[in-house]
Structures are given as structure tokens and as C-alpha cells.
Amino acid sequence: MSFGIKTQQRRRIAAAGVAMSSLLAMLTACGGSDGSNEAGGACDVPGVTDTSVALGAIADISGVYSFQGPFADGAKARIEAANAAGGVNGRKLTLEVADDASDVANNLATARSLVEGKDVVGVLMASSFTAGSGDYLKGVGLPVVGYGITLEFQDHAKYPNFIAYGNNVSGATNATSISKVWGEFLKSKGATTVYSVGSGTPQGARSATALIVSSEAAGLKKGVLTTDLPTGTTNFTGEAQKAKQAGVDALALPLGGPASVAVLKAMKQADVPIKVSILLSGYDPAILKEAGDALEGASFWVPFAPFETNAQGITTYKDALAKYAPKATVGQYTMVGWLSANLLIAGIEKAGSCPSRKNVLKAITELKDYDADGMIPATDFSDPQQQAAAPTCLYVVTVKGGAFVPDNEGKPFCVSDTKPLPIR
């Protein structure tokens, strides 16, 4: 069974994954750290029986970041599809989903519950509050798989077991770099002066700053940079006034979908003459219905091949979602869940007859030319340079006539100057 490993390298659009020689050495040295006993072909390890492998998922299903909740539906659909195809190496997969309620303390509590109460082999993560569980899960040493939106996923020297299939705005190593692609995209649409705002989290502030750095490198002006936005803010009237006074004509928004919509509405109400906006979250049909004409003309960055392009794995994802999570919608967050589960499953398959925590983590870091059936760029997880690089190409869709329309005929927007820019 294939889980998206190809033999021909496609152009890298964004870096994803991590493999460090020091990590592999550590895993070799700590052979029994997960309580395993693999002598003589036996597989006496936590979470694994002769017929099953236990997995967990943590998501912001409730609370201020509840828009990420559909991640769990996408993960469930991918796992059920694998089970329907016979499981992985003769074992069925089970999934225990936990809601951390968008809270740091709860994030740690749910992680402990999954590890100590359910003996999970790996954790699928879609939370903005991984600061709660980062050190604990590092100590356990199991694979934590997701999209690289938090600092735990981006600092692999410190958290080598947090594996991202894709990076957020900045490079994944300590979130210290960004490329010119964001600024060049805005510039190509006529932008001159940029507004960016980050949520009240470390990664939110860093992402907003990074987008301004990229914009300035492309020759654009910093209009307004707000890095201390309180979590859960919905009123952006004051921000819109600041943007208007600064002559802002472009928005770069590393916020959740609902918050980005609130920013767009505030800008329109204040008559800020926006030429282009790029949203990093919210690519979901549901948001079009909720936002109305506020999103008309807005562009969304898409961290995978857009649904409208019908890439190789899109049909499989849509069919499985309809069958195994019929109440869920095709959208960014269910796809992130699907892709995260797909990567963890690939590691379980490669780990062979004994998918212990240690073996699955090691297997993921040895994957090469992994592209999730054409939905993400081909990635060599054994190459640390791929993990460290900031994205230099973007898939973009723009709302036109109330529908998502891929930019550039569905091809990525790329920059030739790929030199990383330091984030101040």
C-alpha cells in the first residue's frame, strides 16, 4: 500500500519534515526508552497488539480556536480509509480524539491522558497551544505529527519528535527566516504599503513580523505591524483606523479564518483602499457562506494543491470524507487532518512488524520523495535542509464571484531569489 511516496522528485514548493543525524543517533542509543521489547521478533510495546495500533489526536475543538476542530474529522476519515483497505501491515488503527479547548494547561492534560491512559503510539496535533505539551511529549519520545504552525514544530533542535509535513510562514528551524515570496506576491498585485497583525501567541507575533520582513525585502513599505493582539479579538475598528492613517493598501494576515474576516470587514467599513490581501488560514467553503461579500477579492494561501485543481489525492480525500465523516466539509482544516494522518500512517507502514513509538518516529525521518499522492511537494524527510527552508513558492486562491478561484492557473507563485531573510 502506498501513502504518497514517489520515486521522482518534484520541485519543492515548501519544506516539510525533519531528519537530524543526532536524532537518529539518540533513537539508537535509547532503544528501550518507550518500554519496548522487540527481541526475537516480538512486539511488546505500548499501544500495539497483534491486531491494532493505538493513535491519538489533539485539536482545538472548542474555545477561541475552535475553527481548527474539523482537523479531527479529516484525521478520522484517513484512518478509516486505511482500515477499510485492510489496515497497516495486518493491524487496524484506532484513534482517540481529545479536545484541549484552546488552552495551554488542557493541551498538557490531554497529552498525558492519551499517552498514559491510552498508550498511543503517535499523536496528531492541531493546536495553537503546544507550548503546554511540548516538553512532556518530547520526554516521551513519540512522534507528534501536524502542520508547522507553532514553535514546537518549528524548533527541531529542541523538539526532534515534532514532525511537520509543511511549514508555516517562516522556516522551521527556530522560526528565524522567511523568503521574499510573500512580499513579491503582494507587490505583483499592486501593493505598496502593508498591514500585518499577529495573535497574542509567540508564533502569531513572529508570523506577522516575518510577513513585514518579506514585504520590505520586496520593496514595499511597512504600514502597521501589530504583534500583541489579545487572543480572541473580534473588534478591529482601531486597527483599521491605524491602517488608514498609514496609507495601507495591502493586508498580510497570519490569523485564523474568523479573525481575518473581522479584519477585512473593519477595513471596508473604514474605507481603507485595499488592493490585495493574503490570508494564511480559512480556505474553506463554509467561510464563504459566513463572510458574505467581505471576502470578495481576498486571496488565501493554500499549503497543499488547491481542491479546484483536482490533484491526484484530492478525489480520494473527498470520497473518504463523504463516507467516513459525512457531516464534515471539504476544507483546509479537514485536509490538514487528512495529511497529518497520512504521514503518520506512512511511518507506521515503514516501521514494519513492530510499530513502536521509537520505530515509527525513525521511519518517518527516513521517508524520501514523500508527496501524499500529489497533494504536497515531494519531500525528503532525511534531509534537514528541506526542513529548515522557508517556503519560496505559494499556491494561492482568490475569491471571485463568491467562489475560490486558483491564481496562476492553479500553478504555484514562486520567486527566483530564494535567499532566506532573517526575522528581526
DSSP letter string, 354-404: ---HHHHHHHHTT--SB-TTTTS--B-TT-HHHHHSPP-EEEEEEEETTEE
> Which residues, 6+ apart, have CB-to-CB distance to 378 below 8 Å?
6, 8, 9, 10, 11, 12, 369, 370, 371
Residue whose C-alpha is closest to residue 276's, from 342, 218, 344: 218
Could you tell me the pLDDT band of residue 386, with boundaries at 50, 70 and 90? Answer: low
CB atoms within 10 A of CB 74: 31
Q: Could you give the CA distance from residue 131 to residue 266 in angstroms, rounded to a whole number?
A: 31
Q: What is the mean pLDDT of residues 247-261?
A: 94
Say whether 205 sits in a helix, a strand or coil. helix
Confidence bin at 70 (pLDDT 50/70/90): very high
pLDDT at 150: 83
Mean pLDDT of 11-38: 39
pLDDT higher than 90, residue 157: no
Whether 173 has a pLDDT exceeding 70, the answer reads: no
Task: Give the per-residue pLDDT at 155.
Answer: 78
Say if 21-168+312-388 and 177-307+395-417 have the same CATH topology: yes
- Residue 21, beta-bridge partner list: none
Q: Which of 87, 150, 89, 162 is nearest to 123 (CA)?
A: 162
Q: Count, in order, helices (H) and strands (E) of the chain.
A: 15, 15
Domain boundaries in the chain?
A: 21-168+312-388, 177-307+395-417
Bridge partners for 164 per DSSP = 146
Give the pLDDT confidence score for residue 149 in this predicted structure. 79
pLDDT greater than 60 at residue 347: yes
CATH 3.40.50.2300 is the classification of domain 21-168+312-388: yes
For domain 177-307+395-417, give the CATH superfamily: Response regulator (3.40.50.2300)
If DSSP states are collapsed to H, E and C, what string results for 274-321?
CCEEEECCCCCHHHHHHHHHHHCCCEEEECCCCHHHCCCCHHHHHHHH
Q: Are 56 and 344 in contact (CB under 8 A)?
A: no
Which of 37-51, 144-158, 269-283 shows the lowest per-residue confidence on average (mean pLDDT)? 37-51
Q: Percent of the chain having pLDDT more than 90?
A: 62
Per-position DSSP letters for 321-346, written without gaps between them? HHHH-TTS-SSHHHHHHHHHHHHHHH
How many C-beta atoms surround the C-beta of residue 95 within 10 A? 20
